[in-house]
Amino acid sequence: MTTEVRTFTPPRAFGDAISQPVTTPVITTSTTPRSVPDLQITLKPAISPSPKARQNSMASTPEEKPKGGVTFSHQDKLPKLPIPELESTCQRYLSSLKPLQTHREHAETRRAVQEFLQTDGPELHEKLKKYAEGQTSYIEQFWYDSYLNYDNPVVLNLNPFFLLEDDPTPARNNQVTRAASLIASALEFVRAVRREELPPDTVRGTPLDMYQYSRLFGTARVPTDSGCQIQQDDTTKHIVVMCHGQFYWFDVLDDNFDAIMTEKDIAINLQTIVDDARQIPIQEAAKSALGVLSTENRKVWSGLRDVLTRDPGSNNADCLNIVDSALFVVCLDYTEPTTAAALSQNMLCGTSEIEKGVQIGTCTNRWYDKLQIIVCKNGSAGINFEHTGVDGHTVLRFASDIYTDTILRFARSINGKAPSMWASTSPDPSKRDPESFGDVSTTPHKLEWDMGPELSVAVRFAETRLADLIRQNEFECLDFHGYGKNFITSMGFSPDAFVQMAFQAAYYGLYGRVECTYEPAMTKMFLHGRTEAIRTVSDDSVDFVQTFWADAPGDAKIDALRKACQAHVNKTRDCAKAQGCDRHLYAMLCLWQRMQDDDAASTTSSNSMNGYSFEDGSVIGSPSKDSVFSQSMESQSGNAGRERGDSINSHISATPSQRGGVPQQLPTIFADAGWDKLNTTILSTSNCGNPSLRHFGFGPVSGEGFGIGYIIKDECISICVSSRHRQTRRFVDTLESYLLEIRRILRIAARNNASAGGANGVSGTANKGMSRAREIDAAAVNQNGTEKPVRPKIGNRIKSRGRLITGQSSGLGQGGPTSTFNGGSSIGNIKGTGGGSVSSAMEESMVMSEDDEIGGYGFFDAGMLQQALKARQQGHYHHSHNHDSSSDDRSNQSRQRRSRRDVGKKLPLIDY
């Protein structure tokens, strides 16, 4: 069965594409930022706003943009995305597959790869290099094709979400105040981008690509008969506000991109909108909530847009243009979610709540084809964004900058000299001449849609399908406050690699196997760079999870963890340099398919194809599951497509072209089962965030997997997990138990190392954030961890009196005193596994501190728990049995305690 592929670039012969570079790209948006290389795609002309509302904005585009802007100043200097060497790509491909395959499967894959290197591979690689000469990026066109040819609903499948932290000023955490504050800050961000005053992103001084910022505002994903298109109006000046599924708009910028409304003005408009929306009962408003149509299958949604605009006498076309061309959409929800999981769901897909057969949840109060700022009734706020043209790193900058600006603006209301986020700011609208604003409308306007019977039925069916989709997914969040980046780095680990191994260990602990795992690596140090796929599972990670779950000594577990983390760090560095295997192989597959399409078209017009043949009706343009943020693209019920977790390539049927008179078969590397294996992601993970975010996440990749978004902060780790009811809560609980257990093992090792003189350098690790004044107390401890008999100076004798209250060490072996256990016996005096006196992980439980008691075994099976209890009981029995024979030891200990009583007993510091 064949299916037509809808692309937004006119098809042309592949030979033409590689014979001459593209020198004049076609971009039909009104303007592009200075110095930004143009994207080699064709965009539909920018949306024309309603003539009544937008007449001035379309006619009065500023003739000159600010000169000498900084935002895109490095674009011309960025290197192009490199194409890896073919042999290196194949070797990385084999390394990624080896731990996922049996010996027999891997042998077959090796044979397929070897044949590919000897047949199709070199030719495709050379053609790709030639094709890339005329492109900004060799993967960019294929990337856009894969996203824009995707037909299933974007909600829960493509769009990620950010959940912002609450405003630090409690009085400002109400809906209208919070929304007005975020809008005001967002407008300053828009101004900085359009005036090219936003400082470029950098990583360790290296500038990053800034092109995506030019596509962040005034942009919409619009379905058409020939596939989705990215439409943009970069002169737009208004925003759209949704409340109870109803649409409102008002202008917020002038022709110079300066704000024309104060935060108070915006708040007044928002309160006016809320009051107006309440006048219609939510049950009635839900029946005409047209936003739910943006959650439909893209083909269906395209047909419904035609229905909206086909009546010449209707104002629906103008209303639709107002929404599509808005800077962004603000969604004011009436709900007040209380848990992190409920908030995350609300930001990702909204809530589904049926009352008297009518949907009154927030799922209908969205427009998923655009950037959305969502604010709940209690002030909780988040961002949901259309993901085709922008990655999480770009939207994260937007989210963190506007969050920071809301705080600084409040600070400036207290102290006018408080700093600003922006190089320049909009003139105070309250002090401007009204004539200077131009032709603007600051009063909210409600969009009135003409709802015919066909549209009413469409809204009803779209809502029921969306409700099904929401019910098929579940979300759980873990706000782990046991430790964060500071502790992980103090132990000598990469935070991201450490957390990635936690996912591996938790999954293996539940299911006893490893599965294909995906994590994106940013490649924005290259021109128009997006991401490369990090394949987390390695021989070292498999060795670690097997060692961790075995009855192995703690030191062996830590050594295995270090090797696995280092392997992940090395792989991440390669991918950040665009030296992965996924994008390279995918680009060669797309080129091969183009060749087959061109050959078939040239052979016979009757067999001409605009798309590609698949056994199951899938399209080559559909993205593989390892797209950015690993967003879920699983086919919905009723759609004859592949799941996002399935390989695109495995479904391509051999196209019998007549190149040289020989039918062309799919290259062996893509026909091999290993390609399916690598493109069936079970754990789709992404690390994206900073302290401005509470959570970040996305929908599950497939019915068999988990979607995991996580943020590693200094003292905590935030994790949002989604799945299609695959024991999500249990996975999160297992993950939390692992994080506690690995901390226990690391603490024991650190104390043993401290008592042994700081072996492996762990004991000398400083605790980040702690005052160095504490080193004065630590100076009285020698290299063996015992206190020196230092007599206090006469002048400081008074300060030496009293017992120091310091608790248990959070530095884990900083060279200071060790904590006590069971009546004051020093843990530092008990030999660790490295010393040979503790022979197993279970016996190590005897030297736990109070907060690491049996709870550390929360996710071990019953047999292991019984062993732990047995070991503990034997230890107590042994202590009682030798009570008499140890009387001399107790006398010595008593004398030692009395000798120290004058200067106090030091305890390790507690975790804080």
Active-site positions read 387
Q: Are 644 and 633 in contact (CB under 8 A)?
A: yes
Rounded to 5°, the CA angle 199-220-321 comes to: 120
CB within 8 A of 783, min separation 6: which ones? Answer: 757, 758
In Å, what is the CA distance from 47 to each residue of 54, 325, 686? 11, 6, 33
CB within 8 A of 810, min separation 6: which ones? Answer: 487, 767, 908, 909, 910, 911, 912
Specify the length of the chain in residues. 912
Bridge-partner residues for 611, per DSSP?
A: none
Cα separation of the two ends of the chain: 62
Q: Give helix then strand counts, H and E, for the chain.
A: 26, 24
Cα separation, 570 vs 539, whole angstroms: 13
Cα separation, 730 vs 553, whole angstroms: 27
- Rounded CA Rg of the chain: 31
Reference 454, options 355, 309, 248, 322; nearest CA is 309
b/e 442-451 (16+ beta carbons within 10 angstroms → b): beebebebee
Bridge pairing between strands 329-332 and 238-243: parallel
CB within 8 A of 698, min separation 6: which ones? Answer: 159, 160, 161, 348, 629, 630, 631, 632, 684, 686, 707, 709, 722
Cα separation, 667 vs 593, whole angstroms: 10
b/e 457-491 (16+ beta carbons within 10 angstroms → b): ebbeebbebbbebbebbbbbbbebeebbbbbbebb
DSSP state of 99: G
With tokens 């084999």, the residue in question is 94
| Dihedral, CA of residue 496, residue 498, residue 504 and residue 506, to nearest 10 | -120
Q: Could you list the beta-strand ranges (E) of 337-412.
A: 354-355, 358-359, 372-375, 381-384
In Å, what is the CA distance from 14 to each residue of 68, 573, 592, 654? 40, 34, 10, 18
Structure tokens given for 435: 């004539």
Cα separation, 707 vs 621, whole angstroms: 22
Neighbours of 227 (CB within 10 A): 22
In Å, what is the CA distance from 607 to each residue of 614, 658, 660? 15, 12, 18
Neighbours of 456 (CB within 10 A): 11
| Helix axes 554-576 and 495-511, enclosed angle (nearest 10) | 120
Q: Are 146 and 622 in contact (CB under 8 A)?
A: yes
The dihedral region occupied by 769, where left means phi > 0, alpha psi between -120 and 50, and beta the remainder, is left
Tell me the three state secondary structure of residue 653.
coil
Range list of H helices, 293-391: 298-309, 316-325, 340-348
Q: Are 173 and 167 in contact (CB under 8 A)?
A: yes
Range list of H helices, 693-813: 728-755, 775-778
Cα separation, 842 vs 838, whole angstroms: 9
